Structure 1
């Protein structure tokens, strides 16, 4: 049997880096993709094949997929992990930034999936893993554009799962909770840039403080928790459609299912320390 091959985007740090190493430990030939090759040197030293790829650049994605097929002859797993959080009030965030977040978090993932699917269909096998978030099931103030991307990726994944099933392709959604990565700091920086002054300033201060909270950071799970879930999914004969894991993911998603909207509004606002 040929060695199975995996492509992991956003592999330069955090969840992507941990996932690339996990899949390698399971026997996969792993291509780790990121915009900057220099940030992949660490993975390259450990046998991961570095791949320069920008998920907002179609030529870049085409070239990456063509290289993998030429070298490995197949693609068995695609992990769409590249993404970021850009917070700010819906009113304040410039539409160019809102579009960029959708381009990276949604359109980049789905375009890369479009490029990989023909090869998986030809193999009659493959797994597409989309990293969403518990933020694809719950919502927080000043996170509208970010949550919009994750809700969208959840829905698209459900539709794709139905479409790909007849070809032997599994589609899996991973819903991380709080994970110890750079994500919170980046989201807080974007938030202060867009809504740090003006009518939403008090809300922005509360949310940014929550995003940077050392107490929350200490409770966050390591990226390896997500990598382990992905490892289980891609090696299962019949993987679950969703894996909610990491700090807070299961309880908050479960709470959202049973608590009415306005009650959830109150709970989230109090948890973040939103001004009344």
Structure 2
């Protein structure tokens, strides 16, 4: 069945790859991001790109209004926009931490609030929230990123129960290492921190591990995401969570079943 789909963070990586697949499947796909110039290929493929900053209420309202005016509904909202900053809690300015939450949680909540009334009225819809394996476990120097994803997990669980009476699905994605811009964003945030930081040795090891994971093809292709999202979109009763991509399942399993101290020991042994 052809559906009207809204995807945030669609200018690259998982969002763009999945948008292409959903367009090919015949769905009406609206793609939004700050970098609209990077979505022209989606337009040529049949998608409908629009500029939107998830931290700006006016942008969000405009996008939702346009889609409802043209289509009369939004069947699927994929909250995919997000990024990660890395650095010690001591080193990262609080305004950067606030921005992390503005994008990864509060912006997501804002667009969800604006879309839900239309889904509720239709008694149908699916909301997909991109969390991470980092929403279930953690690495040093990632406090604000992991905090935002842990918060998103709790937000999504509560939302799922609230919307169940209205036949609206809420699905959480927990990808592992995926070949996207995430690694370069992490490295960029570390580069901004003073080399005099007392955490410099830890920073160097995290940077080395990030390069190894993201710059040497040691991560899963975005197609694992597009295939998963396609299954969710085309399912009448999707699962509440989908965990996929390199290391996602084993690391989360270790976090859940090994306990804090043993998991801490495993993580620090890689440092």
Q: TM-score, normalised by structure 1?
A: 0.95
Corresponding residue of 2:48: 49
Distance, in Å, in 2 between the alignment partners of 1:66 and 1:24 is 21
Residue matched to 1:69: 68
CA distance in 2, matches of 1:66, 1:108: 17
Cα offset, 1:135, TM superposition: 0.3
1:40 aligns with 2:30: no
Aligned 1:20-35 pairs, distance under 5 A: 20-35=19-34
Aligned to 2:246: 247
Match of 2:179 in 1: 180
- Distance in 2, matches of 1:183 and 1:50, equals 22
Find the aligned partners of 1:214 and 1:221 in 2 and give their Cα distance.
Answer: 10
Residue 115 of structure 1, CA deviation: 0.5
Cα deviation per residue 1:66-94 (whole Å; 9 max; x = unaligned)?
Answer: 00111111100000010111001011100
Q: Is the 8 A contact 2:176 2:246 kept in 1?
A: yes
* Alpha-carbon distance in structure 1 between the residues aligned to 2:219 and 2:267: 18
Aligned-partner SS, 1:213: helix
* TM-score relative to the length of structure 2: 0.97
Q: Deviations over 1:79-125 (max 9, x none)?
A: 00101110010111000000000000000111110000001011110
**C-alpha contact (below 8 Å) 2:23/2:45 kept by paired residues:** no
Structure-2 change in CA distance of 1:170 and 1:195 (3 Å): farther
Aligned to 1:265: 264
Q: 1:6 aligns to what? A: 5
List structure 1 segments (4+ residues) > 6 angstroms apart after TM superposition: none
Deviation of 1:189 after TM superposition, in Å, equals 1.4
SS in 2 for 1:219: coil
In structure 1, runs of 5+ residues without a counterpart are none
Matches within 5 A, 1:198-209: 198-209=197-208
Is this contact kept in 1: 2:88–2:143, CA < 8 A? yes
Which runs of 5 or more structure 2 residues have no equivalent in the other structure?
none
Following superposition, the deviation at residue 196 of structure 1 comes to: 3.9
Cα drift, residue 25 of structure 1? 2.7
Deviations 1:128-183 (A, max 9, x none): 00000000001000000000000000000000000001011000000010000111
1:89–1:195: 8 Å Cα contact kept in structure 2? no
| CA distance, structure 1, for counterparts of residue 76 and residue 241 of structure 2 | 16
**Alignment partner, residue 114 of structure 1:** 113
Offset, 1:198: 1.6
Question: What is the total number of aligned residue pairs between the two structures?
Answer: 271
Matched, 1:125 2:96: no
Aligned counterparts of 2:88 and 2:41: Cα–Cα separation in 1: 37
* 2:191 pairs with 1:192: yes
Looking at structure 1, the residues matched to 13 and 252 of structure 2 have their Cα atoms a distance apart, in angstroms, of 23
Cα 1:217/1:249, change in 2 over 3 Å: farther
